[in-house]
Copies of this chain bind each other. A is one copy, B any other.
Amino acid sequence: MPENRKSLQEEFEPLFNPRAVAVIGATNNWSKWGFSTWNSLLDGYKGKVYPVNNRDKEVLGHRAYSRVIDIPEDEPVDLAVFVIPAEGVPSVMEDCVQKGVRAAVIISAGFAETGEEGKKLQDEVVRIARKGPLRFIGGNCMGFWSATANLKAFMFPLLVMDGPLAMVSQGGNIGGSVVSAGYTRGIGFRSYVSCGCTADIQVEDYIEYFGDDPKIEVILAYIEGVNDGTRFTEKVSRVSAKKPVIALKPGKTEAATTAITSHSGALAGSSTLYDSAFKKAGIMRVNTPEELLDTGMGFVTQPLPRGKKIAIISPGGSYGVLTADTCASMGLEVIKLSDETIAEFDKILPPRWSHGNPVDPAGDRNFIAYMQAPDLLLKLPEVDSLIYMGFTNFSGWATRFSGINKDITKIYQELIQELTKLIPGKEALEDPRTDESWMEELTKKLVESFFAVFGTTDSTDLEAFSQKLTSIFKNKKVGPKLKEQFLRTAKSFHNGTIGENMNPFGPVLEALMEGLLITWIKTYDKPVITTSFMEMSTVSKLGYHAYPTPERAATVLTKMMEYREYLEQKGIVRIQGPSPP
């Protein structure tokens, strides 16, 4: 490893924010990765691009160069993307050094992971790059994404968006899945690096770099094996004092160790050693890609819990039982409710409610009471966090109930028709001067309509609840996002894309419910994690994902506890970091 003479931010600037990029192996042949990589680059990146191909004169309308050094001298290239067979990499690397290219990503496979010969080839590539110096990602990787440059130097069309996370992954499939799942959930990445066999830049270098970027709030890593444990622990410790670092590290079994060698060429090392190294470095270790993203989102959206005391609200007794069992098994403390709290719930829930934690209204049809319940628990000093089985799919349930018989279906459709009348005309929507009061009006009517399907008709309750919801519009952080969702829905309505749908208002209702969740988090400065019924995980509108199982929700809380304890042990007072809206 060369000693850094300049800061990592400066050194990596040509990599993450290049002025110009050459793709070695860009091709017109759509059956090659060089084709999809070239197209991936063109999708968003605004700097200069050069296809390098020693056969074709032109690649998809761009003049091709047979060698990197054929690119005119007055046109500097910062980054080279290699998508050619491994054996061709050294000579092109020589060209890159000669041309003054300062960074590369070597997607090509066939290095250390294939054995002795491959290792030699890899060493040769590193030796040449050092002459530049040219720092590179890979080889045997899938490429990377940098939001700063809107740069997708990636093997195939990657689903990714900008956001507060960053990820480095020694596995392209795991990394790609996490990033794409984030996209689907509505959470983005400032950067994602598929780092491959880490011949030059090491896992800890990326983490250090992400640590210095103030736009990155949480760092995720998939690690098969690091090359220098001491260096790794030292560098990451400095980062984890500033922001959470979460890592998925397989290799508990010999079967995995063997697979790792033929995959990334890494030495998997002892799982126990990694455990203690991670502990020392303040890294939260998780076991699955799901947990990696879940926990990352948890840190971004929730404050750290003050302790392990938890309250649970569930509309179903059995889900309450499972959630309590899971939380307690994971070391969280399912608190007992005081007589005062029980008396408070007695006022809003039917006599058959569970009279304990988990709070289960036992089939109460008054869903407004269910949505008042969190306040009664979160205000208690003995509650550190809440798992709430929320109605993330409230509109879906309303639709299902409205299908009970044709009379109800008709009434429901009429209600929806009434609601559509509150949407401003197409022109008005485009006009920024349009008064936004229609959104509040729509919210009120929405609440009345949807809750009517379940049977909540008490007008005082409904009004109070509507007021709570409409107050979300005034929240500085959430309000604008919520308004966007309303506008989006309204526009879809005019475009006819949801016109035929029986319930076009689902997305805004879901967003409002999510807004309510955010209000709880903000008001009490405590984590509120929502869960959904089995396999009913829903896409969040404002970035707050409902976890589809109690295990996944509880895991997030335990990891956040772990981080808090780490910071406390180290005596670190966290000044800056993820904060709820």
Contacts and interface: CB of A to CB of B under 8 A. Distances in A.
A194 to B, nearest CB: 9
Contacts of A32: 365, 455
Given A109-B362, A408-B30, A252 B316 contact: no
A40 to B, nearest CB: 8
Given A262-B356, A535-B184, A172 B318 contact: yes
B534 A262 contact: no
Interface stretch (A125-133, A399-407, A434-442): A399-407
A290 interface: yes
B259 A534 contact: no
A475 interface: no
Interface string A441-453: 0000000000001
A262 B322 contact: no
B324 A256 contact: yes
Contacts of A36: 401, 404
Give the bracket for the number of chain A residues in contact with chain B.
35 or more
Contacts of A536: 177
A327 interface: yes
A157 B400 contact: yes
Contact of A178 (B325, B334, B534): B534
A181 B535 contact: yes
Contacts of A110: 351-352
A276 interface: no
Query: What are the 7 closest A-B residue pairs judged by CB atoms, nearest first?
Result: A171-B318, A31-B455, A173-B316, A263-B317, A253-B328, A256-B325, A255-B334
24 contacts: A31-B365, A32-B455, A33-B365, A35-B404, A36-B401, A114-B352, A157-B401, A157-B404, A170-B318, A174-B322, A177-B536, A178-B534, A181-B534, A224-B321, A255-B327, A255-B328, A256-B324, A259-B320, A259-B321, A259-B325, A259-B357, A262-B356, A263-B360, A289-B534
